[in-house]
Structure 1
Amino acid sequence: MAKESNTNPKKPRFSSWWIYGLIAILLIGFQFFGSGNLSSTKKTTTSELQEYLRNGDIEKILIITNTRQAKVFLTNEALQKDVHKDVKDQPFALSPSASPQYVLDYGDLQNFENEIKDLKTENNLDTIVDYDTESNYLGDFLIGILPFVLIIGIWIYLMRRMSGGGGGGAGGQIFNIGKSKAKLFDEKTDTRTSFKDVAGLEGAKEEVEEIVEFLKNPDKYTSLGGKIPKGALLVGPPGTGKTLLAKAVAGEAKVPFFSLSGSDFVEMFVGVGASRVRDLFKQAKDKSPAIIFIDEIDAIGRARGKNNFTGSNDERENTLNQLLTEMDGFGTNTNVIVLAATNRADVLDKALMRAGRFDRQIYVDLPDIRERKEIFEVHLRPIKTAETLDLDFLARQTPGFSGADIANVCNEAALIAARKEKKAVTKQDFLDAVDRIVGGLEKKNKIITAGEKKTIAYHEAGHATVSWMLEHAAPLVKVTIVPRGQSLGAAWYLPEERLIVRPEQMKDEMCATLGGRAAEKVIFDKISTGALSDLEKVTKQARAMVTIYGLNEEIGNLTYYDSSGQSEYGFTKPYSEETAQRIDTEISKIIEEQYQRAVEVLEANKDKLITLAERLLEKEVIFKEDLEKIFGQRPFEKEFDQKGQENLNGEKKTEEITVEEKEEEEKKENK
């Protein structure tokens, strides 16, 4: 059987390019044969021609006037001579008498004629001199039609590329460029995502579950006189799960689900975007009940009239106008609901956001500590772990992480474990993955001098010392002087998740951030450029206190923050130059006050700072336990731990009962 398979190889697939190649070869062949290039015609010179004339070897000279060429035909006697043996045989000539033996390019026709006439008279020759013109019809035809063929070919190629390739289907051919590019999901084969795969997002899940219920059982709501909502807009930071939530809706709804991106409507041809919108809603109505999901709707939904300085017709605005018409045009009984997702809701057009189009705006926020624990449970399912991981600990170690970040942590932990030749993923691999994502790649081979390393150690020790001594500063997790990414060292904290922040809390955080530069000043009486990121952070915080949150007494209860996002198009500041000077003064005043405060804290604990820095130089990485050995128990740690544990579990632990509460309980029991 193996031999038979070898002797009968697969036949090559037929391609239309073979036909094009064959036609090109035939045309070239006709051109080649027609011009006589394959015959034995030989080029000669004027002197040789004169010699042949004197010898009486030439029977006829045919002068081609339009090509300045003369064809020489020899007599039969001349063909027998040795001098003409190279042109005797003409294998490719159709007729020996029809093909010349020599060809000559002459210059001036009058001089050429006079020379031949003189030679004929002198030698008494009867050589025939004739005149003719030649036309290469095939060559002229090809030259005439070739530009048009090239233009048409380039146009077809561009149209195929711009309309989504050369395949069939909607948008694939030239005349289907106005068709919708939406992908229709089949609930049986294409998608397997359900609401069980979406961790956290409890409020958002409730909203979209109700949308699914609208489509499954519309009479439940319409029988009471209610109307099914026409659209829902998912808004939130990148990576929080907006697209994942839409995939879950596609898996749960069991109805046709059209998915596409906002950029799929945008095309260089006028009217294509509006045509695709019309075709999309026509397909959805034909298959109703159905769901349309438009990801990154800000690509076509930006506010009209912005950034249109040319005054010309804007194709994106036409697409948006058609979308507005379609959403408000179809009736409530069509059972077509539009879902859209964006992280730039501030730039969307107001007409798109009004009731009757996107009736509901579902905000998908960053997950809190409980939701992060649920997300870890989802992404740890395929991960082979060596131990039972403390998910509460992992959730605490990833404040501010989105769902996409947590998925990246789990994947990075598996890669780190595989790189270390481990059979399973451990807790340390997850911690290394968090460090890798937040801080960057570890660079142990970075060249650092002893003096620079000492400065970095005292800088990081200053951060740790100040944060340990302040009540509202974030508790420390570990300090390292191993370079990562762009940083030469880092102090890792576990910030408390607050919904509101008070001025004293912000000032304590700023003071801890300035602890690094303050330590350089206290120990070396010199400062360096290593505090760039620290200064950037505290400057932003101080500016937010003064200009956004109204937490400065001098400026007062004013804010210059514009939540509508329209301020980015303005070219003027919303305050006067005098107010700008006061703002700059207050920002500088806040930062300098916290810097001096950090210096005072470090001066009071200088011996402990030196001890901590020396241990950091020795071990390169120190943890919270090392600080407890040097500074003792943190006075604010107990209160924070208790609150964090209460917030984590969602329920309060058993608290100590005071004497008064015991007496009240005894009175109730006696009654």
Structure 2
Amino acid sequence: MAINRDPEKTPASEKRPGLGWLYFIFFGVFIFFWLFNTQPELPEISWNKFENEILESGNVTRLDVINNQRVEVYLKKDTVQKKEDTKSIFETQSTVGPSYFFNIGSVEVFYEQLQKAQEKFPDLEQLNVTYSTRENWGGQILSWVLPLGLLILFWLFLLRRMSSRVPGGSTLANFGKTKARVTEQGQESDVTFEDVAGLEEAKEEIYELVNFLKAPDKYLYLGAKIPKGILLLGPPGTGKTLLAKAVAGEAGVPFFSLSGSEFIEMFVGVGAARVRDLFQKAKARAPSIIFIDEIDTIGRARGGTSIFHENEERDSTLNQLLAELDGFGANTGVIVLAATNRGDILDPALLRPGRFDRHIQLELPNLTERKAIFKVHMRPLKLANDVVVEDLAAQTPGFSGADIANICNEAALFAAHREQKSIKKKDFLDAIDRVIGGMEKRSKIITPEEKKRIAYHEAGHVTTSWYLKHSQPVQKVTIIPRGKSLGASWYLPEEHQIITKSEFTDALCSMLGGRAAEDLFFDEISSNAVDDLEKATKHAYSMVINYGLSDALRNMSYYDSTGKMSQSLNKPYSEKTAEIIDEEVQAIIDRAFEQAKEILTIHKSQLEILASKLIEKETLLKDEIKEILGERSSL
């Protein structure tokens, strides 16, 4: 059955003409010059044979010296036709041509040898010797055509390989064309504002942009100007790209989307050319929206420490982008939307009003926003009756929208693996544990002594935090290895915008509870606390350097909100101040460690019971911990 295919839907790889015709022409030229250059092969003889056999017979009519290197021997016509041992091809084609040839080293030596040979045979007629120059035009042309042809074929082969890896193909003629994906007017999008949860303020600002594109007269009548550019800033997974996709679905205008890395190519000047082509196409289809994801790829700040990060192609691309943002008028209907999680490294010229007028900061979702995000991702799931969205949102503080989407998917995978008809609460809890700590590794070999040490270590964390006023309430503790950790404790932190010095200190004390328990119950400490020590050290340094919560450096902060200091080799403080910082950090950690040991000493018996239960059951929940340690209270 024949299939009629729409030529507009034919893949680009099928539309591109092949290189077979070029190969055919190249090899045709090669064969032509090879045949043109081919000369009839004559029997080669030595000088002795020529002198003693052919010259002595008296049948030689003349000698032709070719290019002072080769001598062709012509015989008498009747001799060529009668002599049977003559192998010249001219016996079957023509009797007019040379019959033999021999090579000579130089004309002078040949002349002397010929003179001696004629003196040796005085009865022979004087030979007619001619000198001629023969040009090998075919070989010379072929020597130029062959390398050039191979170079052209190799170049076309590289271009063809590069175009096969780029959607839509790429040739030498369209390297400077934009690679933006276009959502045309009237095309439906898979994502709308209903699919974006937890970003109400950001959606409100973005929706103003959509309204302007749908009804610009209302704004222009009042003299309002829509922002030229809107920059979405925020941590990874907070929904920047998802929000841009929703704009594409709601705006109803052509939407050009691409990543910042798609401007950069191996050829110099391609990035700037693609920027020009992108804005030219957007202006032709105005009103339209341009979305550049990961704009920090080309928008990194220039100058300063650029000597270590020299990239003229990126800078030229950024210069062209700045020129295009300034080039079109305020109400041409072309709006630039960009997203990045590295707003601190962007060039100031890119952030100023008139280019990106509006900056929308996206934060990690709070409790209410996490509920909305869970509801969005739970729409296609088959849930059991024991799943409570509020409980899941409360147990995932600090999780981004992408993390929540991953939890919902992992819970569905757990339910399918257990051959359940619906997704239960336990599946979600296991999914949260897996996202936080990784997969359980029950097969990891742990000796009884190591298991005991791990149990006391985790019991030290739980006991210390249980009796600290400002510490986070524990939800679960386990000594089952997960990921790189041999044991873990899960806490439910309260969401604060401001953290006091007491909360910092109690958190540091809780981090060191595991090391304090090992120091209290075993003869020596171990490497089991490496992760805790890393977190505690960073925690203490942030107290001293960033927040000014130390006694030695009161009311001073070396925090750099611009991010420029991190690119510099110089510290913002002197060597003497650095020594004070190190001493103060050590003092803070020592005080927290001694406080942890004091708490564990007071509640030593309860810690031992808790560790024994962990060795027995491996995992304890909050209610089981409460039975051993009692109600939470402060010292």
Same fold at TM > 0.5:
yes
Q: Which residue is equivalent to 1:369?
A: 367
1:488 maps to which of 472, 486, 489: 486
Q: Does 1:53 align with 2:54?
A: yes
Residues 1:115 and 1:525: Cα distance change in structure 2 (over 3 Å)? same
Deviation at 1:205, TM superposition (A): 0.8
Matched, 1:563 2:561: yes
Q: Which residue of 2 aligns with 1:465?
A: 463
Deviation at 1:378? 2.2
Aligned to 1:355: 353
Partner of 1:139: 139
Which is worse superposed, 408-417 or 367-376? 408-417
Cα deviation for residue 202 of structure 1 reads: 1.0
Which residue matches 1:456? 454
Q: Report the residue type matching 1:30 in the other structure.
A: F
Q: State the one-letter code of the partner of 1:27.
A: V
Task: Map residues 629-648 of structure 1 onto 2, 5 A cutoff.
Answer: 629-635=627-633
Evaluate the alpha carbon distance shift between residue 565 and residue 74 of structure 1 in structure 2; reply closer, same or farther with a 3 A threshold.
same
CA deviation string 1:143-188 (max 9, x = no partner): 234555566666777788889989989xx45444444433321243
**Partner amino acid, structure 1, of 2:444:** K
CA distance in 2, matches of 1:13, 1:214: 40
Distance 2:107 2:603 in 1: 111
Q: Greater CA deviation, 543-552 or 328-337?
A: 328-337
Matches within 5 A, 1:67-466: 68-71=69-72, 87=87, 95=93, 97=95, 104-112=102-110, 114-115=112-113, 118-119=116-117, 122=120, 130-146=130-146, 148-149=148-149, 172-189=170-187, 191-267=189-265, 272-309=270-307, 314-385=312-383, 389-418=387-416, 425-466=423-464
Q: Which residue of the partner structure matches residue 17 of structure 1?
A: 19
Aligned to 2:537: 539
**Where do 1:588-603 residues align within 5 Å?**
588-603=586-601
CA deviations 1:80-120 (Å, max 9, x no partner) are 87866xx47799x9x35477666545445544554455456
Deviations 1:278-326 (A, max 9, x none): 4433333332222222222222323332344399994544443443343
Quick one: distance in 2 between partners of 1:88 and 1:239?
86
Q: Does 1:548 align with 2:550?
A: no
Which is worse superposed, 585-594 or 52-61?
A: 52-61
**Residue of structure 2 aligned with 1:572, choices 558, 570, 573:** 570
- Give the whole-Å Cα distance in 2 for the aligned partners of 1:311 and 1:588: 36
The letter for the 2-side match of 1:24 is F
TM-score (norm 2): 0.85
Instruction: Name the CA shift for 1:193/1:125 in 2 (closer, same or farther; >3 Å).
Output: farther
Q: Is the CA contact (8 Å cut-off) linking 1:160 and 1:174 kept in structure 2?
A: no
The CA distance in 2 between the partners of 1:387 and 1:103, in whole Å, is 104
Q: Report SS of the residue matched to 1:564.
A: coil
Aligned counterparts of 1:164 and 1:16: Cα–Cα separation in 2: 13
The runs of 5 or more residues in structure 2 that have no matched partner are 3-13
Once structures 1 and 2 are overlaid, which stretch shifts more, 445-454 or 147-156?
147-156
Change (3 A) 1:26 1:317: closer
The aligned counterpart of 1:504 is: 502
Q: Secondary structure at the match of 2:225?
A: coil
Using the TM superposition, give the Cα deviation of residue 381 of structure 1 relative to its aligned residue in structure 2, in angstroms.
3.1
Shift in Å, 1:538: 0.8
Deviation for aligned residue 1:458 = 1.9
Q: Cα distance, 1:426 vs. partner? A: 4.1
Distance 2:455 2:51 in 1: 102
> Which segment drifts farther, 252-261 or 401-410?
401-410
The separation in 2 between residues aligned to 1:629 and 1:312, in whole angstroms, is 62
Match of 2:31 in 1: 29
When residues 74 and 424 of structure 1 are mapped into structure 2, their CA distance, relative to the original with a 3 A threshold, is farther
- Code of the aligned partner of 2:473: P
Report the CA distance between 1:193 and its aligned residue: 1.3
1:613-663 per-position Cα deviation (integer Å, ceiling 9, x unaligned): 233233333332332232234458xxxxxxxxxxxxxxxxxxxxxxxxxxx
Q: For each residue in 1:395-419, what CA deviation from the matched residue of structure 2 results, as whole angstroms up to 9, or x when unmatched?
A: 2332222112222233334444555
Instruction: Name which of structure 1's ranges 195-204 and 391-400 shifts more when overlaid on structure 2.
Output: 391-400
Question: Retained in 1: the 8 A contact 2:305–2:568?
Answer: no
1:129–1:250 CA distance, 2 compared to 1 (3 A): same
Distance 1:55 1:88 in 2: 19
User: How far, CA to CA, are the matches of 2:526 and 2:471 in structure 1?
Assistant: 24
User: Per the alignment, do residues 22 and 357 of structure 1 end up closer, same or farther by CA in structure 2, a change over 3 Å counting?
Assistant: closer
- Contact (CA 8 Å) 1:166, 1:173: kept in 2 or not? no
Secondary structure at the residue paired with 1:334? coil
CA–CA distance in structure 2, aligned partners of residues 492 and 401 of structure 1 = 14
Instruction: Compare 414-423 and 521-530 and name the one that shifted more.
Output: 414-423
CA distance in 2 between partners of 1:19 and 1:510 (Å): 74
The 3-state SS of whatever aligns with 2:307 is coil
Do the aligned residues in 1 keep the contact of 2:454 with 2:487 (CA within 8 Å)?
Answer: yes
- Report SS of the residue matched to 2:304: coil
Q: CA deviation at 1:388?
A: 5.7
Question: Could you tell me whether the CA contact under 8 Å between 1:160 and 1:166 is conserved in 2?
Answer: no
Aligned positions, number: 619
Given the superposition, is the C-alpha separation of residues 318 and 29 from structure 1 closer, same or farther in structure 2, using an over 3 Å criterion?
closer
Q: Distance in 2 between matches of 1:134 and 1:78?
A: 24
Q: Identify if the C-alpha distance between structure 1 residues 36 and 196 changes in structure 2 by more than 3 Å, giving closer, same or farther.
A: same
Looking at structure 2, the residues matched to 426 and 52 of structure 1 have their Cα atoms a distance apart, in angstroms, of 109
Structure-1 separation of matches of 2:464 and 2:601: 11
* Partner deviation per Cα, 1:458-514 (whole Å, 9 max, x = no partner): 222221222222232222232233333322222222222221111111211111111
TM-score by length of 1: 0.81
Report the more deviating stretch, 394-403 or 183-192: 183-192
Moved more, 372-381 or 195-204: 372-381
Deviation at 1:249, TM superposition (A): 0.6
Contact kept, 8 Å, 1:58 with 1:72, in 2: the verdict is: yes
Q: Is the 8 A contact 2:283 2:332 kept in 1?
A: yes
CA distance in 2, matches of 1:319, 1:192: 32
Does structure 2 retain, via aligned residues, the 8 Å contact 1:297–1:342?
yes
Which stretch shows the higher mean deviation, 180-189 or 244-253? 180-189
Other structure's SS at 2:331 match: helix
* RMSD (Å) for aligned C-alpha atoms: 3.7
Q: Which amino acid aligns with 1:514?
A: L
Q: Is the 8 A contact 2:181 2:257 kept in 1?
A: yes
Cα gap change, 1:417/1:81 in structure 2, threshold over 3 Å: closer, same or farther?
Answer: farther
**1:4-55 superposed Cα distances (whole Å, 9 cap, x missing partner):** xxxxxxxx99954222222233333334434548x67555555655665378
